[in-house]
Structure 1
Amino acid sequence: MFHNIGVPGLILILIIALVIFGPSKLPEIGRAFGRTLTEFKSATKDLVSGETEDDIQSKEVNKPIN
């Protein structure tokens, strides 16, 4: 999908984002985007491994205490 963007296209997108959102909002948007990617990555990892939220929670509850 984004194979043909290149560096000039990426710079143009960043400049447009800077104009639209302003310099104060860009770090917040970047953090939110990063958190979203992290959550998505962990969710897909759980789906691939076949574990559900109930499985994960039961493992946390049944952990042995050292």
Structure 2
Amino acid sequence: MPFGIGIWEMLILLLVLLLVFGPKRLPEMGRQLGRGMREFKDSVTGTGKDDDDAAELPPPEPVEAEPAESASATRERDTVA
């Protein structure tokens, strides 16, 4: 057994976990632990796809240019003489 834990210690630990978290949450916690370990392994080994590749950004919207008259009028109002 890993870390010198015997079969009886493992059974007691599982019984305590069952009493604390209940039978409905234990499978969910096991799946989350497995996903976390898999993501950690993938990030350390460099396998798997990058997050940047998965997220596709929409194309930028075209920006309309301001008419020359409104830009000069705005500049005249903002200046202080």
Shorter-chain TM-score bucket reads 0.5 to 0.7
How far 1:10 moved relative to its partner? 1.2
Identity %: 36
Give the number of equivalent residue pairs.
Answer: 50
Q: Within 1, Cα distance between the matches of 2:41 and 2:6? A: 25
1:3 Cα deviation from its structure 2 partner: 1.6
1:35 is aligned to 2:32 = no
Q: TM-score, normalised by structure 2?
A: 0.53
The structural deviation recorded for 1:15 is 0.6
Equivalences for residues 14-53 of structure 1 within 5 A: 14-46=14-46, 53=50
Match of 1:64 in 2: none
Tell me which of the two structures has the higher relative contact order, counting C-alpha pairs closer than 8 angstroms and 6 or more residues apart: 1
Whose helix proportion is higher, 1 or 2? 1
Q: Spell out structure 1 runs of 4+ moving beyond 6 A.
A: none
- For structure 1, the 5+ residue unaligned runs are 58-66
Where does the alignment leave 5 or more consecutive residues of structure 2 unmatched?
Answer: 54-81
Cα RMSD for the two superposed structures: 2.2
Q: CA deviation at 1:25?
A: 0.6
